[in-house]
Chains A and B, each alone.
Chain A
Amino acid sequence: AQTVTQSQPEMSVQEAETVTLSCTYDTSESDYYLFWYKQPPSRQMILVIRQEAYKQQNATENRFSVNFQKAAKSFSLKISDSQLGDAAMYFCAYRTWGLTFGEGTQLTVNP
């Protein structure tokens, strides 16, 4: 069975600074997808960024980028120029069919 581990229950960052959220996973599959989802308080889950395991190039979406280390089974999310609106619970997720989520990291952005 696949497992996803987020070792940082809480993180905080100053506005305009950079923060990195960690995620590791365990799988025996070779073809899979990895995702970071954001869940703001009382709002629905939205996709932040995705990474195909067969691609060596790290995905980037504006201020969000990932560091994907396939051999180490590591998939961290870097948020640059943090904004107050980035405050949310962030979930790392692995997918072959349904999504397997980590426990989440609560990100606080301090003004």
Chain B
Amino acid sequence: EAEVAQSPRYKITEKSQAVAFWCDPISGHATLYWYRQILGQGPELLVQFQDESVVDDSQLPKDRFSAERLKGVDSTLKIQPAELGDSAMYLCASSLAASGSPGQETQYFGPGTRLLVL
């Protein structure tokens, strides 16, 4: 069964350093999402891509976070510089399409990257 792949699974870094997370969605899925999940809370949407275009990045802290999906397939989320408050699980999800009735499409989640900033 196809799955969303994420790497690394765990990342420890010091504050002010740069970190990057990678996500490979299920083949054929046009829509890709990055979520941040702080321990004990529900995930929060950071950015949504439709193919290579950003659909929604209203919750992305753009002063330090960036996301790209250059060829409309895999995606990278970067934090520079990392801060203590960035410690969280970063989840990637994908769905088949977002046109028409976007809520109709089921989102499939990857295993996440757990980030610890020291």
Q: Is the CB of B55 within 8 A of A97?
A: yes
CB within 8 Å of B: which A81-111 residues: 91, 93, 95-104
B residues adjacent to A (C-beta < 8 A): 33, 35, 40-45, 48, 55-56, 91, 93, 98, 101-104, 106-112
Contacts of A91 in B (CB 8 A): 42-43
Contacts of B104 in A (CB 8 A): 33, 52
Shortest beta-carbon distance from B40 to chain A in Å: 8
* Interface of B (DSSP majority class): mixed
Q: Is the CB of A95 within 8 A of B109?
A: no
Chain A residues within 8 Å of chain B by Cβ, number: 24
Contacts of B106 in A (CB 8 A): 47, 50
User: Please, could you name 14 A-B residue pairs with CB atoms under 8 Å apart, sorted by A?
Assistant: A4-B42, A33-B104, A44-B110, A45-B91, A45-B93, A47-B106, A47-B107, A52-B104, A91-B42, A97-B55, A97-B103, A98-B45, A99-B33, A100-B45
Contacts of B41 in A (CB 8 A): 103-104
Q: Is the CB of B109 within 8 A of A45?
A: yes
CA distance A32 to B101 in the complex (A): 9
Residue of B35, B102, B108, B111 near A95 (CB, 8 A) is B102
Q: Is the CB of B107 within 8 A of A99?
A: yes
CA distance A47 to B107 in the complex (A): 8
Q: Is the CB of B102 within 8 A of A96?
A: yes
CA distance A93 to B37 in the complex (A): 14
Residue of A31, A46, A97, A103 near B48 (CB, 8 A) is A97
